[in-house]
Structures are given as structure tokens and as C-alpha cells.
Amino acid sequence: MSKEIRAIFDRIAPCYDQLNDLLSLGQHRIWKEMAVKWSRVNPGDSCLDLCCGSGDLALRLARRVTIKGRVYGVDFSPAQLDIAKQRSLQQYPTPPITWVEADVLNLPFEDNQFDAATMGYGLRNVTDIPASLKELHRVLKPGAKGAILDFHRPQNSLTRAFQQWYLDNLVVPAAEQMGLKAEYEYISPSLDRFPTGEKQVQIARQVGFASATHYPIANGMMGVLVISKALL
């Protein structure tokens, strides 16, 4: 990811969860649970949460793997990781989570290491989407699944217009009150650049995933890409 995007996520870290509630109309927790379910994580698994931010998905994975498993939460923002660490310690005396500062384009893990993976609101911000998916493919075990949740531009023109109105009139002004207007104005152009669900499926297959399915959510304003690595 670029230094500019990293700086943005460092700056928004203290308000990240509050603004996520606003961005998602309070629904992001439901969508995250869907992503965790689609990752097919099981007790005792070793799991990966990429672009973990303040730790929401990683903590949900931790509840699924139990103390028998392990979760690795990866983010390139030290400010986000600090908040994630604090949250995990509030919920677990000894959380089964290892927090790792790293770039998703160059993960510090061995090949075929993880049983399941998630990513929330990260794929849209990477500088090279095919490379990030290829790196995820590398570290997943044969047969493992990943679930990637993110905002999208809806295909329907009315829904698209509503999304833009919501961003312009509610999200950005709320961010401005927190001194983060510029940081949240980047969302709209990032949505314009983000590949459609159909294109994401094509990219996932091109980098080696045996199967890929994109599930639109919230009238196409959200989506989950579910990917599976082939069995040997």
C-alpha cells in the first residue's frame, strides 16, 4: 500500500470504528459476521485477518478458533494495531491473536500456512489487487477459504446516487467535525477505481484460486468475495 494511504489510516485510527458505524448505517457488524462464516473457520484453526484495522474481524475469528487456535491480524498502520491490541486485551486475558505490522503485498509468512482468512475494507485500498490476492493464495493451505468484505459502487443508478449523496452529505461532514474531512473524501474516488464483483472473481481465478464467488450485499453497496484454494 502507498505511504499516503498508510498515513490516512494512522490519522483516522481513533475515530475508525465510529465512522464505520456511520458509513455502514450500523450494519458492518452483521457483514463482518457473514465474512467470518464464509471463511469456514473452525476451532483450532490458524487464521489470517488482512488489513485488520482496529481488530473487529480478528477478534471475531479468535472467538471461533478458541484458545486451541491462532489468529494473525495484519495491518500496515501502527496506530490501528495499537488500538487492536488494546481491544483484544480488554476481551481476553491472553488473546489468541498475534498482531503483525506488514504490507499485504509482502506477507511475512510461509507458504500454505493458514486454514482461513478474512479481509475487511482493505482490498479497495491496496496498490496492486492481483498481487495482494496472489500473496493471499500463497499463504493459504490447500482447500482453505478466504472472505473479503468491502464497499462497492452499486450498478443500479438510483442506489448509486443514494450512496454518493450519503457520502457527500453525512459521512464527509461527520468526518470533517472530527478534523478528518480530507481523509474521508478519498472514499468516493476509491469506489470509482474498485473493480466490480465480477472483475474481482476474474482476478481471483487468474492468480490461482480454484473457485471465487462474489456476493452483493445492501443493494450492491457492499460485497463479499469468497475464494477457495485448490486441494492438492
Domain ranges within the chain, ordered by starting residue: 3-228
pLDDT in tens, 32-83: 999 999 999 999 999 999 999 889 899 999 999 999 999 999 999 888 899 8
Residue 8 in contact with residue 28, Cβ under 8 Å?
Answer: no
The pTM for the full model equals 0.88
Residue 202 in contact with residue 117, Cβ under 8 Å?
Answer: no
Residue 222 in contact with residue 162, Cβ under 8 Å?
Answer: no
For residue 122, give the DSSP letter: -
Amino acid identity, residue 181?
Answer: K
Helix axes 16-23, 3-12, angle to 10 degrees: 100
* Mean pLDDT score across all residues of the chain: 88
Residue 221 in contact with residue 194, Cβ under 8 Å?
Answer: no
pLDDT in tens, 95-133: 899 999 999 999 999 999 999 999 998 999 899 999 999
Interior angle at CA 156, CA 154 and CA 162, nearest 5:
70
3-228 CATH choice from 3.40.50.1950, 2.60.40.10, 2.60.40.180, 3.40.50.150: 3.40.50.150
For the CA atoms of 130, 183, 160, 199, the dihedral, rounded to the nearest 10 degrees, stands at 0
Phi, psi (degrees; rounded to nearest 5) at 120? -120, 120
Residue 228 in contact with residue 37, Cβ under 8 Å?
Answer: no
